[in-house]
Structure 1
Amino acid sequence: MSMHLTRRSLLRGGLGAAATGLVLPAIAEGAWAASAPTPTDAETYGAPNTSPLVWQRADPFVTPRTEGLYYFTASVPEYDRLIVRASPTIEGLGSAAETVVWRRPASGSMGGHIWAPELHRIDGRWYLYFAAGDSDNVFRIRMYVMESSAADPRDVSGWSSPRQIVTPWDSFALDATTFEHDGQRYLVWAQSEPEIGVNSSLYIARMTSPFTFTGTPARIATPTRSWEVEGFRVNEGPAVLKRDGRIFMTFSASATDARYCLGLLTADARANLLDPATWSKSPDPVFTTNEQTRQYGPGHNSFTVAEDGETDVLVYHARDYRDIMGDPLYDPNRHARAQRLYWYEDGTPLFGVPVGKGGPILRLSPGDASSAFVRHYAYALRVDPSVRELADSQFRFVPGLAGEGTVSIRSVNFPDRYWRVDGTSLRIDPVEDGSGYAALASFRRVPGLANSNAISLELSDRPGVYVRHDKGSLTVGRPAGSKSTFWLS
């Protein structure tokens, strides 16, 4: 993907994708907007609030916003066609009409499985990269690309016939992506090199046109670690981010069931990208199945930027269940999802966990410690300037357990747990039956006492008593200006 992503602003919208609610009072599907507290711009701007974003669409790809529109393409469960959606917002892609821009032929070359399309705008034209098998062998997968001079890639008449991207080996090849760096365009893809005993490795080459590359491809990653070889030995689905002098490349590894996960390659942007030694691989996966949020097999991602032009968005697919009958490739319920991508202070991407259903995801910073975040650890709520486990600092405001006019604050990575007052301090505890827990786990959300663009939290059962920050702890007491004010991001 060719894009350069800028530094983020201080007030950023939380990405919508959301955690599975376990024991809230029953809320009908789609009733969120009617029952939740009114969100602020910081909670909704550019942030998808629905999860899944698009049902039964795997290997999702969302373009940067182009002439006011995001474009979406993905694999369909039938593996028989190429589709495109468009919307002025990422959220809107979920309900956008879908246009079929190409169908596989009834027989012959490209008559088999159609996989993993990507849309790229290059020099004023659209290019649609995809992989296709033959009708007599649906897994004889090779890479192809189509070109369109039309302004809108949904214009079916604009597309040329597919052309194969030829590599040095006539073998299983898929997941082509392309990006530009320092005036040079590159192709990255996955392929089964005959001399290597793995299902697929990652390769990079310089391109001479959107259809061809030049020189000998460089193998920059091959599956060797335990998390890359579960079920199958796979490195595939590359996606590229450029930021602050480095190039990051995510990739997917292992079988396409709950073991599927994302790894990360990193390169110095000044180095020779065709030198395999330039690329270092993360020792552990960066995005994996999460039992608490009930998201399984997250992978094959792309990146885009939210409507604010700054907030990075991770787009990926995952299932809502672990157990699959038969070959996971033919289970249709890999759904496209989107959530905010964060960054460590050292400039490396921070993925967190795949989130489940719900509303906007937020982090809270006290007014007197705006560079720190509220986080939970071992059931305690603390304020910490350095949070390595992103999901420990992510929460959702949900309709209050104590009823109308109140809110409750639910953990993202442990969605059965809520903020709860415990004497003069705050904890995060699993929900309990009864009005006692409900009152202690509910608050009145009001404009910030020190700044109306922020919020303050008044205890639902004790008017005039507020949540306060005190030297790294969350306590309750009389209002104290910035100590009782929280920024949302």
Structure 2
Amino acid sequence: MATLDRRALIKGAAAAGIVAGLSTSALTRSATAGDGDRPDAEIYGVPSVNPLIEQRADPFITPRTDGMYYFTGSVPEYDRLVVRGAPTIAGLGGAPETVVWRRPASGRMGGHVWAPELHRVGGRWYIYFAAGDSDDVFRIRMYVLESPLPDPRDPAGWTLRGQIATEWDSFSLDATTFAHRGRRYLVWAQSEPEIAVNSSLYIARMDTPWSISTKPVRLTTPTRSWEIQGFRVNEGAAIIVRNGRVFLTFSASATDARYCMGLLTADAGADLLDRASWVKTPDPVFVTNERTGQYGPGHNTFTVAEDGVTDVLVYHARDYRDITGDPLYDPNRHTRVQKLYWHRDGTPLFGVPVGKGGPIVRLSPVDSRAALVHHDGSALLVRRDVRELATSQFRFVAGAAGDGTESIQSVDLPDRYISVVDGTVQLTATATAFHRLRGPRGIALRLAADPGRYLTHDRGRLTLGPAAGDRTRFLLS
């Protein structure tokens, strides 16, 4: 997708998103406020319930444009292009959907319609998509629609600009475009005739939003074991520029539970048309997770949350492994979003595809803000260096009694909760109820069964104790 620039996206204070079904408001952090500066001190970078949108694969969410996010993705029927919009990412889940283009009844583009992306270039909207023909639905080629209207949901504005021509008239799809250092690029997947793989990834410079002006450069072809499961595939590229580097994610293998994401990295000052500028991470960066019940995560894009600073990973996955028939025609690849984290060395940290439920948070004691609560087996610890992202991610789950209490659920072990067992704080299958108390410096978590005791940070562990200032206050991020 287009390069994400935080400075261009920060416009005033952050918006607050309210998530249906939760007992508390999901608030984003102000672009200028520091931790604990807000009265409630609650920070949800991505205030969304997962899945965000059901039965929409290959999802794409634009950066916030004139106060609106716009979404498009593949529909199970593969017969039309749809757009929906909302002021918040969470709002996209219930937003009405407009059909902006339908495939013709026969002939060119009358077959499968796949993987649309919506981009704002030069004051106009463009949809990049792939389509087959009515007599051969898999004769897939790349096409571009253009609209001069400010609202991409208006079907009246869309006209076909035509096919994106490349060096070969062969299977090609998943076009994405981005601007970097004053130049616009196209990245796409294609079957190069002389290479015995289903698709590789290519890059070229663009001279118009619908044409390339340089010879394609092959960035990556599927060779590693995780890229050739079922099919030999590299596809679905997405770009994010951060920390002096250009990161390009892509998807690999068949579209079932073996589908996964890989990563290419280039220096931001390098020649992006030089294959030697790019380094492929040896292992996949985002894969199926049995514990969270998410299968085949991939075909991702990126956007930025309402706070203007929090990077968001957008992707699809299924809630089950076993598929009857061709996975391409299984309709239940759902759109999901979650916060994208960053390693200290400036590289992206994806974690695991989170399961169903509300926003994800990490907890830091106010008296040790650089540290995080995480679990190591059943033990709950507070450490600065947490190796696995998912062990430090939690959800607040509303109490079934509707009494305002909440339990704190582990993300990577969703059948486990922060629990009090015989006076000891552990991660167990028994959910303990807490009252979440907001204050000017973080939140306090008071034991519902004993109002005199709180979750407390005590020398690297979670314990119980009386109210004790910053030791019993936590920041959420």
Do they superpose with TM above 0.5? Answer: yes
Whether contact under 8 Å (2:109, 2:132) holds in the other structure is yes
- In structure 2, the CA distance between the partners of 1:15 and 1:80, relative to structure 1 (3 Å rule), is same
Aligned to 2:125: 126
Aligned to 2:274: 275
Distance 2:88 2:109 in 1: 33
- In structure 2, the CA distance between the partners of 1:365 and 1:46, relative to structure 1 (3 Å rule), is closer
- In structure 2, the CA distance between the partners of 1:15 and 1:263, relative to structure 1 (3 Å rule), is farther
How far apart are residue 443 of structure 1 and its match?
Answer: 2.0
- Specify which of 438, 457, 464 is matched with residue 447 of structure 1: 438
Q: Helix, strand or coil for the counterpart of 1:108? A: coil
How far apart are residue 335 of structure 1 and its match?
Answer: 1.0
Aligned to 1:471: 459
Q: What amino acid sits opposite 2:234 in the alignment?
A: N
Whether contact under 8 Å (1:48, 1:338) holds in the other structure is no
Distance 2:124 2:351 in 1: 35
Whether contact under 8 Å (1:6, 1:243) holds in the other structure is no
- In structure 2, the CA distance between the partners of 1:257 and 1:16, relative to structure 1 (3 Å rule), is farther
Q: What amino acid sits opposite 1:464 in the alignment?
A: G
**Matches of residues 23-422 of structure 1 in structure 2 within 5 Å?**
32-33=21-22, 36-37=23-24, 39=26, 47-400=46-399, 404-422=403-421
Distance 1:222 1:94 in 2: 35
How far apart are residue 37 of structure 1 and its match?
Answer: 4.5
Q: What amino acid sits opposite 1:2 in the alignment?
A: A
Whether contact under 8 Å (2:127, 2:144) holds in the other structure is yes
Q: What amino acid sits opposite 1:253 in the alignment?
A: A
How far apart are residue 399 of structure 1 and its match?
Answer: 2.4
Farther-moved stretch of structure 1 (178-187 vs 406-415): 406-415
Q: What does the per-residue CA deviation read over 1:334-362, in whole Å, with 9 as the maximum and x for residues that have no partner?
A: 11111111111111111111112222211
Which segments of structure 1 move beyond 3 Å, counting only runs of 4 or more? 4-9, 11-17, 37-46, 400-403, 422-425
Unaligned runs of 5+ in 1: 18-29, 432-437
- In structure 2, the CA distance between the partners of 1:37 and 1:61, relative to structure 1 (3 Å rule), is closer
Unaligned runs of 5+ in 2: 30-41
Whether contact under 8 Å (1:37, 1:398) holds in the other structure is no
Q: What amino acid sits opposite 2:438 in the alignment?
A: P
Q: What does the per-residue CA deviation read over 1:449-485, in whole Å, with 9 as the maximum and x for residues that have no partner?
A: xxx2411122223332222112211111223211111
Whether contact under 8 Å (2:118, 2:128) holds in the other structure is yes
Distance 1:419 1:459 in 2: 11
Farther-moved stretch of structure 1 (473-482 vs 402-411): 402-411
Whether contact under 8 Å (2:380, 2:462) holds in the other structure is yes
Q: Helix, strand or coil for the counterpart of 1:216? A: coil
Q: What amino acid sits opposite 1:415 in the alignment?
A: P
- In structure 2, the CA distance between the partners of 1:202 and 1:272, relative to structure 1 (3 Å rule), is same
How far apart are residue 3 of structure 1 and its match?
Answer: 2.8
Identity %, equivalent residues: 65
Aligned to 2:35: none
Q: What does the per-residue CA deviation read over 1:289-342, in whole Å, with 9 as the maximum and x for residues that have no partner?
A: 111111111110111111111111111111111111000000111111111111
Distance 2:47 2:65 in 1: 18
Whether contact under 8 Å (1:56, 1:76) holds in the other structure is yes
Q: Helix, strand or coil for the counterpart of 2:367? A: coil
Distance 1:476 1:12 in 2: 34
Q: CA RMSD in A?
A: 2.3
Distance 2:403 2:296 in 1: 38
Whether contact under 8 Å (1:16, 1:360) holds in the other structure is no
Q: What does the per-residue CA deviation read over 1:137-166, in whole Å, with 9 as the maximum and x for residues that have no partner?
A: 100101111111111112222222240111
Report how many residues are paired.
Answer: 462
